[in-house]
Structure 1
Amino acid sequence: MANRSRRGWLLGAAVAVCTATATPGLSAAQPAPVDQQECSAVRTNWSVEAKPHAAPESLLNTYSDKGKGWTGGDSTYSVKLSGGRTVWVFSDTFLGPVNPDGSRPTTTPFINNSFVVQRGHSLKTVTGGTRTNPTALVPPPANGWYWFGAAGTSKAGRNLDILAVQFERTGPGQWDWQWVSNHLARFDSRTLKLKELVPLPSAANVQWSAWQLSEGGYTYIYGVEDLGAAKYQHVARVRGDDLKGRWQYWTGAGWSADETASARVLEGVANEHSVTRWGDGYLLVTHDTNELFSKRVLGYFSCSPVGPWVNPVELYQTPETGAEGSYGDGDIITYNSHDHPDQRSGSTLLVSYNVNSLDPNTDLYADVSIYRPRFLGITLTPGANR
């Protein structure tokens, strides 16, 4: 069980649980000096109304309780595909069964990545392997595993493209593991079968997996330089929608073909966050990793997809977190909040976040409800300009 649900510790906790050091050639932690145009997204004072338990939370919970497939996972990216399908993309995943009292058998299958396909109110779990012996969609290497990051499509929707990060064990201990490299996991969007696993740039200690944004003829890729107690956003891009193309990296003043010239854009982001169009500007949604085990979900604004990110507003405080949270358990953490623009309704965002435990071998088996995503309907209303 040493492998189970370690993702929450790494991605949400801002704890130095993997080997990481600052990389020479990266700029200091300064905002990218882009001219901040006079866009209303930045000028506006935004007020926030957050409503928990937004759809599809109840649908996923009911499906989980039945214990017939997916019963919990994290990452929680989403992509709309043809045929009225939404693919929910998960990393570490528990499968059924579920006991009548809401606990999990200790023998329940656990894999490192999976899909749940939604069509209307119908859900279906997709894994690798067989029905009796399910495995991860991307088979793990001999000494590690792959976690899924942001997802998108390419080639007019024929491909489902997922940013996948590889980790490896470095010893027998619980914390003996580290990030290794970045990959593109390309699936056939019709069959959801893996077509290829392609290495992506990995030379700058940046996990290029946080987000994908299609904008202005480019796909922007958002990554995180994870130093444990400090996490910094970086930005790359490729022309068009094929992530196998030539990458360019934001240096703080322009674009470079040198990955090690990539600049730190914003400190305090989570390993998974989102950057989406918001009116005439852009909105970044992230858990606040400037605080240890934070319950704060923040929104930042910019007139450019590469920042600078300014005027942070608190979108929500997660009620599950810590000893004073809804579980009354000091081991419960929340992490990796981000938007789902494919599910957006007008000015209301659909934001998800993940819940986990620092004692997973006890808590996640005792209560199936912990390790499931939560969804928020967040409405931003403009007030007076700044």
Structure 2
Amino acid sequence: MFHVLRQPARAAPRRRSLVPRRRRLAARAAALAGAGACLAALAPAAASAAPVCTGVNSPSVAGVTTNTSLSSMFTRYGDSGAGWTGADSTYSARLPSGSDVWLFSDTFLPPITAPTRPTSAPLVNNTLVPQSGSTLSTIHGGTASAPEAVMRPATAGHWYWVGGGSVSGSNLEIPLTEWRKIGPSIWDIRWQRNALARIPTRNLRAAPTITALPSATGINWAAWTLREGWTTYVYGVEDLGAEKYMHIAKVTGSLANRWSFYKGGDPALPASWSETESDSIRVQEHVANEHSVHKLRNGLYMLTTTDTSLAFNNEIVAYFSCKPTGPFVARTSLYRAPEAGPWGSYLDGDVYAYNAHAHPQLSSATNVVVTYNVNSLDATIGGDLYRDVSIYRPRFLNVALTP
């Protein structure tokens, strides 16, 4: 997962001369040129409809624009210093009250000196940001002077990143992945297990109840959850580094109940499911650690993901299926993130885009709200995420589709 990593200790920011930075940018440009991160963000060419299943064609992309309402709301709130000032993951869920709550992984908190961030700004590994109309607030653990993550593992030095949350009964349920640091590099992290946080929707500030989720195979069961009636489909990622594969499970009612794992075939048949996690099959390749599958309209599902077939790819794509289990076909290019790479909007080879997914409760059959995250490989204190607060904030898109 491409996240900011908690620094083991606060230190004075490292000063860097311009010449070494230029050399680093040139080296990064050469390394990423073939990976697509350096491509400019262009509106995708209109794709003609393609067959998905008998009698059903994929939609075409009519255009992609910035969702100015959400973008402005988070920019105002992030710059205000009232709470959240930047984060990634960017999941959301509709509460029984009709309002939404945003779920974030690594989150910067105040102080803020927009357009820069002071090096004293704390970073916690997960937060909740409830929305009421156009007003946002922030929920974190600990205290105002010593903030902590909302959800924390029992083991010191470990942390949770959030997955695609949803409401079950009177609880907000958030699948989590637990991680630990194993070396000095930002990539030296190791997945430990999956877990489930349950928080009462009537009081999101209540202490979460955390229980174990299936973890025997190493699949990260937190990418997405899709609720249909009493059934919830859970989308996980088999993360092999350069290769990532989607897996699917399902559960009746709460995610705390017994899971079944998709073996392939007609998902309506009991024989297509197993209670043994190792029977789970690879459903789709080149997905991101965070992606989404939602019902676009009756009989048509949309998979939204950053294409991970190339390292640090900045292309957001969609696939379509007539069933929540796939097969996902009719690959459609949606957007190329303009921020990424040495020729991107930041002119910084360390900046990359990742983990795109949809927000179904904010979407319709002809307009899908999609977010993606932006980050930097320069995660040092005083580095890119401090010199420009806009880098480490989600982007909000309206993807217009023609049925």
Shared fold, TM over 0.5: yes
Q: What one-letter code is carried by the residue in structure 1 that aligns with 2:208? A: K
> Offset of 1:45 from its aligned partner?
5.1
> Is contact 2:6-2:125 (8 Å) kept?
no
Structure 2 distance, partners of 1:183, 1:331, is 32
Q: 1:218 to 1:331 in 2, by over 3 A?
A: same
* Structure 1 residue 79 displacement after superposition: 0.9
C-alpha contact (below 8 Å) 1:54/1:350 kept by paired residues: no
Aligned with 1:55: secondary structure?
helix
What's 1:284 paired with? 303
Map of 2:346 onto structure 1 = 327
Give 1:261's match in structure 2, choosing from 258, 271, 279. 279
Residue 359 of structure 2 contacts residue 370 of structure 2 at CA under 8 Å; is this kept in 1? yes
The alpha-carbon distance between structure 1 residues 175 and 337, as it changes in their structure 2 partners (threshold 3 A), is: closer
Separation of aligned partners in 1, 2:375 and 2:349: 11
1:17 aligns with none
Of 311, 315, 319, the residue aligned with 1:300 is: 319
Instruction: Give the C-alpha shift of residue 2 in structure 1.
Output: 5.9
Counterpart in the other structure of 1:196: 209
Structure 2: how far apart are the matches of 1:325 and 1:4? 27
Q: Name which of 54, 58, 61 aligns with 1:38.
A: 54
Unaligned runs of 5+ in 2: 9-31, 33-51, 266-271
Report whether the alignment pairs 1:132 with 2:148: no
**TM-superposed deviation, 1:96:** 1.1
Is the partner of 2:164 in helix, strand or coil?
strand
Cα distance in structure 1, aligned partners of 2:370 and 2:280: 28
User: Are 1:369 and 2:390 an aligned pair?
Assistant: yes
Contact in 2 for aligned 1:57/1:375 (Cα 8 Å): yes
TM-score (norm 1): 0.86
Distance, in Å, in 1 between the alignment partners of 2:309 and 2:129 is 32
1:62 aligns with: 76
Contact 1:39–1:281 (Cα < 8 Å) also in 2 = no
Deviations 1:95-144 (A, max 9, x none): 011125x1111111110000111101111111111122211001243021
Deviation digits for residues 1-26 of structure 1, max 9, x if unmatched?
96259xxxxxxx9xxxxxxxxxxxxx
- Counterparts of 1:63 and 1:248 in 2: how far apart (Å)? 41
Q: Which residue of 1 aligns with 2:260?
A: 248
Match of 1:168 in 2: 180
- Residues 134-179 of structure 1 deviation map (CA, whole Å, 9 limit, x = unaligned): 1100124302100001100112xx1000011000123455443200
Matches within 5 A, 1:1-386: 3=6, 37-40=53-56, 43-44=57-58, 46-100=60-114, 102-140=115-153, 141-155=155-169, 158-171=170-183, 173-192=185-204, 193-239=206-252, 241-253=253-265, 254-279=272-297, 280-361=299-380, 362-382=383-403
By relative contact order (CA 8 Å, sep 6+), the higher-ranking structure is: 1
In 2, Cα distance between the equivalents of 1:103 and 1:184?
35
Using the TM superposition, give the Cα deviation of residue 217 of structure 1 relative to its aligned residue in structure 2, in angstroms: 3.1
**What is the rounded CA distance, in whole Å, between the counterparts of 2:178 and 2:198 in structure 1?**
15
Q: Check 1:39–1:129 CA distance in 2 against 1; reply closer, same or farther (3 A cut).
A: farther
Distance 1:66 1:328 in 2: 27
Q: Given the two structures, how large is their TM-score scaled by the length of structure 2?
A: 0.83
Q: After TM superposition, give the deviation of residue 207 of structure 1 in Å.
A: 0.1
Contact 2:59 2:401 in 1 (8 A): no
Are the counterparts in 1 of residues 296 and 364 from structure 2 also a CA contact under 8 Å?
no
- Over residues 205-254 of structure 1, what are the superposed CA-to-partner deviations in whole Å (9 max), with x where a residue is unaligned? 10000110112531000000000000000000012x21111111111231
Question: Does the C-alpha gap of structure 1 residues 290 and 48 become closer, same or farther in structure 2, counting only changes over 3 Å?
Answer: farther
Instruction: Say if 1:54 and 1:377, in contact at 8 Å, map to a contact too.
Output: no
Distance across 2 between alignment mates of 1:358 and 1:172 = 14
AA of the residue aligned to 1:3:
R
Distance 1:39 1:197, change over 3 A: farther
Query: 1:204 Cα shift?
Result: 1.2
- 1:283-324 per-position Cα deviation (integer Å, ceiling 9, x unaligned): 000000001111110010011111111011001111101011
The one-letter amino acid of 1:134's match is P
Distance 1:255 1:173 in 2: 39
Number of paired residues? 347
- Find the residue that maps to 1:365 and give its secondary structure: helix
State the identity as a percent. 46
Asked if the contact 2:296/2:365 (under 8 Å) is kept, the reply is no
Cα distance in 2 between the residues matched to 1:220 and 1:91: 22
Instruction: Report the secondary structure of 1:106's partner residue.
Output: coil
Shift of the alpha carbon at 1:54?
3.7
- The AA in structure 1 aligned to 2:207 is L
| Greater shift in the superposed pair: 348-357 or 241-250 | 241-250
Measured in 2, the distance between the counterparts of 1:312 and 1:63 equals: 36
| Counterpart amino acid of residue 86 in structure 2 | G
CA RMSD of aligned residues (A): 1.8
Larger displacement relative to structure 2 (53-62 or 260-269): 53-62
